[in-house]
Amino acid sequence: MSTTPKTAADLIRQEDRFGAHNYHPLDVVLSRAEGVWVWDVEDRRYMDCLAAYSAVNQGHNHPRIIAALVEQAKKLALTSRAFRNDQLGPFCEEISRLTGFSRVLPMNTGAEAVETALKAARKWGYQVKGVPRDRAEIIVFSDNFHGRTISIVSFSSDEQTRDGFGPFTPGFTIVPFGDLDAVKRAVTANTVAVLIEPVQGEAGIIVPPEGTLVGLREICSNERILLIVDEIQSGLGRTGKMFAHEHAGIRPDGMILGKALSGGAYPVSVFVADDEVMDVFTPGDHGSTYGGNPVGAAVARAAIRVLEEEKLVENAQAQGERYRAGLESIHAPALKEIRQIGLWVGLELEENAGGARRYCEALRNEGMLCKETHTHTIRIAPPLVITAEEVDWSLEALAKVFKALG
Ligand SMILES: *Cc1c(COP(=O)(O)O)cnc(C)c1O
């Protein structure tokens, strides 16, 4: 009974009429993609400089990842964890090799893997550290983004993120991002974990002060606290290292991955840790119907092979530096600060520049898709397969827009 809508305007109307209004997307309706490029329903081409919040680091429609998806889907898609499947073992071993942690717990979305880490940390606190029942505390940072569940928004410092969703889960202490003294003051005998994004993505590509992770490592080791890094957005090559915490040369006690773990083809996330932490989980404690399913496992293995064999981590480093050099030569008065680490750039605009949204809309008109984060920051995070020529192309679009609006 449904008629097939054709134009972008029809599709936008339909989505707005029947969909929940929990997003404010740019009005571009995409229908196909390849590499760093996406096309809308009217066949206009754009460069994707968001890469689905770094889920498509390997580029859209990567042929090897899509082949793994299709092949596995034809053979066996889902068993649940009630039975075993022939993809889960190879997946876990591969992730263990990649991350250097002995055990892997597969989930689907990032938020689920964060919840898994929180549950692991609490249970480790009770069983291993000896924290009294229901008293575990976890230290987190201001301006964090770890997902959207009730427990995760319970420790957000963003008013809108929390507004209307209480009552909240207790047991979290928020301290200013990168403030080691505040962390020390927040530690109690019941502290079980510190949870941190090694670089804050949603906050606008914020690198903590030099020495933050090293200092946290020291505090956590001294006080017997787990240091858990959320590398869902910062991991898998985005910052020019496989994992952002490698810049600090530390080893955390647990790590959360998602997004690019599947190269955008399928939701796959993991929490990884060593035996002392992961062994707190026993059968029936925790799980997910789709977690560790054969399609996700096969897709993730292909996505990791692409990152490694195509040297995308190295390319992120090189092209990120190219962006920085190019941006520094733009000299736009509206541009207050350029933050860059690897292929992750935050352009902080002056307060009087009229907000990042109008820049993103102007960039879209030039064929470059970016999304503002908060009011005054443009985030540039294209797929890591981007070439030098493509970086230069987007720098030209940026220069043109800064000139026109600025
Ligand atoms: C995106 C993101 C999450 C949440 O992942 P979802 O798959 O959207 O649930 C958690 N932490 C960080 C750092 C993220 O960027």
Secondary structure in 3-state letters for the chain: CCCCCCCHHHHHHHHHHHCCCCCCCCCCCEEEEEECEEEECCCCEEEECCHHHHCCCCCECCHHHHHHHHHHHHHCCCCCCCCCCCCHHHHHHHHHHHHCCCEEEEECCHHHHHHHHHHHHHHHHHHHHCCCCCCCEEEEECCCCCCCCHHHHHCCCCHHHHCCCCCCCCCEEEECCCCHHHHHHHCCCCEEEEEECCCECCCCCECCCCCHHHHHHHHHHHHCCEEEEECCCCCCCCCCCCCHHHHHCCCCCEEEECHHHHCCCCCCEEEEECHHHHCCCCCCCCCCCCCCCHHHHHHHHHHHHHHHHCCHHHHHHHHHHHHHHHHHCCCCCCEEEEEECCCCEEEEECHHHCCHHHHHHHHHHCCEECEEECCCEEEECCCCCCCHHHHHHHHHHHHHHHHHHC
**Do 38 and 92 belong to one domain?**
no
**Mean pLDDT (the chain, rounded):** 97
For residue 398, give its domain range: 8-58+311-405
> Is 177 an annotated catalytic residue?
no
> Is 18 an annotated catalytic residue?
no
**Do 249 and 345 belong to one domain?**
no
Given a contact cutoff of 8 angstroms between Cβ atoms, the answer to whether 53 and 259 are in contact is: yes
pLDDT in tens, 379-400: 999 999 999 999 999 999 999 9
3 falls within a domain? no
219 falls within a domain? yes
264 falls within a domain? yes
CA 205 – CA 57 distance, rounded (Å): 16
**Do 233 and 348 belong to one domain?**
no
pLDDT in tens, 217-251: 999 999 999 999 999 999 999 999 999 999 999 99
**Do 124 and 186 belong to one domain?**
yes
For residue 197 and ligand 1, the question of a CB distance below 6 A is answered with yes
109 CA closest ligand 1 atom index: 7
Please determine, for residue 270, whether its predicted confidence score (pLDDT) is greater than 80: yes
Give the per-residue pLDDT at 406: 78
CA 244 – CA 229 distance, rounded (Å): 9
**Do 24 and 160 belong to one domain?**
no
What's the gap in Å between 43 CA and the centre of ligand 1? Answer: 30
What's the gap in Å between 149 CA and the centre of ligand 1? Answer: 11
**Do 145 and 275 belong to one domain?**
yes
Q: How many domains does the chain have?
A: 2
What's the gap in Å between 99 CA and the centre of ligand 1? Answer: 18
For residue 255 and ligand 1, the question of a CB distance below 6 A is answered with no
Which entry of 91, 145, 172, 271 is annotated as an active-site residue?
Answer: 145
For residue 233 and ligand 1, the question of a CB distance below 6 A is answered with yes
144 CA closest ligand 1 atom index: 13
**Do 249 and 113 belong to one domain?**
yes
Which entry of 230, 241, 253, 281 is annotated as an active-site residue?
Answer: 230
Please determine, for residue 378, whether its predicted confidence score (pLDDT) is greater than 90: yes
CATH of the domain at 172: 3.40.640.10
CATH of the domain at 378: 3.90.1150.10
CA 73 – CA 49 distance, rounded (Å): 29
Which amino acid, 276? Answer: E
pLDDT in tens, 316-329: 999 999 999 999 99
Domain boundary among 285, 309, 333: 309
- In this structure, the number of other CB atoms found within 10 A of the CB of residue 244 comes to 27
For residue 235 and ligand 1, the question of a CB distance below 6 A is answered with no
Give the per-residue pLDDT at 2: 59
What's the gap in Å between 202 CA and the centre of ligand 1? Answer: 9
**Do 362 and 231 belong to one domain?**
no
> Is 259 an annotated catalytic residue?
yes
152 CA closest ligand 1 atom index: 10
What's the gap in Å between 146 CA and the centre of ligand 1? Answer: 5
72 falls within a domain? yes
Report, in angstroms and rounded to the nearest whole number, the Rg of the chain calculated over CA atoms.
Answer: 21
**Do 175 and 283 belong to one domain?**
yes
**Do 160 and 140 belong to one domain?**
yes
Which amino acid, 72? Answer: Q
Give the per-residue pLDDT at 46: 98
For residue 342 and ligand 1, the question of a CB distance below 6 A is answered with no
Domain boundary among 294, 309, 324: 309
Q: What is the pTM of this model?
A: 0.97
For residue 346 and ligand 1, the question of a CB distance below 6 A is answered with no
Mean pLDDT of 278-288: 97
190 falls within a domain? yes
For residue 230 and ligand 1, the question of a CB distance below 6 A is answered with yes
1 falls within a domain? no
Give the per-residue pLDDT at 6: 79
For residue 195 and ligand 1, the question of a CB distance below 6 A is answered with no
220 falls within a domain? yes
pLDDT in tens, 147-206: 999 999 999 999 999 999 999 999 999 999 999 999 999 999 999 999 999 999 999 999
**Do 25 and 164 belong to one domain?**
no
127 falls within a domain? yes
Domain boundary among 256, 278, 309: 309
For the chain, give the percent of residues with pLDDT over 90: 97
**Do 274 and 295 belong to one domain?**
yes
For residue 264 and ligand 1, the question of a CB distance below 6 A is answered with no
